[in-house]
A and B are shown apart, each in its own frame.
Chain A
């Protein structure tokens, strides 16, 4: 919303003395809202009325949307789902940290540190070239199998999480790197001309700007991670997906999976909305010309 609060020439705010432009815009707004509402009602009615009349809808409903099964299984899924959330919560900061390190490593220009840069390039290429589920199998089963220990560091979940951290940090690193490169050279010049070192320039001038720019694409990755946590179920822990699978095997009904899906949506949708909100606020704060 732009500064529409400003009133026209000699115009009292509010009341019936709106300017011609304001009256026009108001009419347009009402019209758009009306059309949107009518069309939505039409489509929703069509879906609600006609879909149940389709042949086979009854079996779809029984298999996927069984209300009783949903009510029974939903509370059962909460604790396993909390497990998913926990894995997500400890993985996310590690991914951001490792991704940032790799991104900075790829931007190193010091010849002596070339091996570090090379390692970062190989890391992103190799890691991104292999499916997530393969990493989870490889590290999640492989490393505990090799270590053969009852200590905490021999756990399946630890190594499953490591697999997630490794794969996602490679993707995140690429996003961060593009953000770093998008900060204009003149910003570095201004910073260096003040006498800041290249490390100080990176930390105080480049990264803060780059980070703001990469928030939307990184949020995509975060939402994606929040779902891929469920892949850890192949390692055996009873998290939401596995718990739903157990119910499914017991009742031959797929509603538990739908219930698990609803749980995942409950986290991922607010996550996206919160980011959008934070970004918009940041933009408004820094820019006089923000159109949101």
Chain B
């Protein structure tokens, strides 16, 4: 479904992604792990064409979407993205946040889009917050709204960029529950995360990124159980020492 071939991304002289290959099948859940600055977020932003890549190709259902000059909007429509800092629209109520994409991009009527949004909010137990503004919600609720907003576009792939990193510890669970539910419905997802135990639980495949390269990838049991690379072992050891695994 989603294929990355030799993707390179430079910020000035700094190589952030160094010939990354990745193949994500339909319904597959891939977790990107690695230290801060290893390129996880940049990888997701490149897939969503928020950052242009400097070399290589990104294919969506076999079609090269990384051609320079290609209109990115139809591609982004098919790829949902959830951000670490939620990025909800503060001037719109919760229901209008969720309904905005379907209204503006899919051309649905206001009533239709809102009905769809309310249904999604009900699914995530946010129905009673529909008329509130984002600032009145807890971080966990805001992030669930952000997931609903992205899901409202009915995307083929969801990119989750450290979606629990900005949350208080007691709010992480409710957001992860939503991701678990998405997995049950067969949503294809690529997620960058620092929640190692969650990555182990939810993903079909884990990729360890180091200095812009996918150093090692495989089933969670293999990566967390018998990592082959020294850098992976060091990283996981640090995570364990920090009490996060």
Q: Which residues of A contact B (CB under 8 A)?
A: 186-187, 189-197, 200, 204-205, 208-209, 212, 285-289
Contacts and interface: CB of A to CB of B under 8 A. Distances in A.
Nearest to A207: B91
Contact of A186 (B73, B87, B100): B87
Most buried by A among B45, B79, B87, B91: B91
A194 B150 contact: yes
A179 to B, nearest CB: 13
B235 interface: no
* Interface bracket on B: 20 to 34
Given A193-B48, A208-B91, A287-B133, 15 more contacts: A186-B83, A189-B50, A191-B89, A193-B76, A193-B80, A194-B101, A194-B104, A194-B105, A194-B149, A195-B73, A195-B76, A196-B104, A197-B73, A209-B91, A286-B91
B100 to A, nearest CB: 7
Contacts of B136: 287-288
Contacts of A197: 73
Nearest to B102: A194
Contact of B50 (A192, A204, A205): A192
B81 to A, nearest CB: 4
A286 B133 CA distance: 6
Contacts of B31: none
Contacts of A187: 87, 89
B153 A186 contact: no
A188 to B, nearest CB: 9
Contacts, number: 71
Q: Which secondary structure dominates chain B's binding surface?
A: mixed
Most buried by A among B45, B73, B79: B73
Nearest to B136: A288
A198 to B, nearest CB: 9
Given A189-B87, A205-B89, A212-B91, A195 B135 contact: no
A212 B91 CA distance: 9
Contacts of B153: 194-195
B101 A195 contact: yes
B90 interface: yes
B239 to A, nearest CB: 27
A191 B92 CA distance: 13
Contacts of B135: 286-289
8 contacts: A189-B50, A190-B81, A192-B73, A193-B48, A194-B150, A195-B153, A205-B89, A285-B133
A195 B90 contact: no
A287 B90 CA distance: 9
A204 B97 CA distance: 11
Contacts of A288: 135-136
A194 B100 CA distance: 9
Lowest 8 A-B CB distances belong to which pairs? A195-B77, A190-B87, A194-B101, A193-B81, A195-B105, A288-B136, A195-B76, A286-B133
B3 interface: no
B85 A196 contact: no
Contacts of A286: 90-91, 133, 135
Contacts of B72: 192
Interface string B96-137: 000011001100000000000000000000000000010110
A178 B74 CA distance: 31
A218 to B, nearest CB: 17
Contacts of B50: 189, 192-193
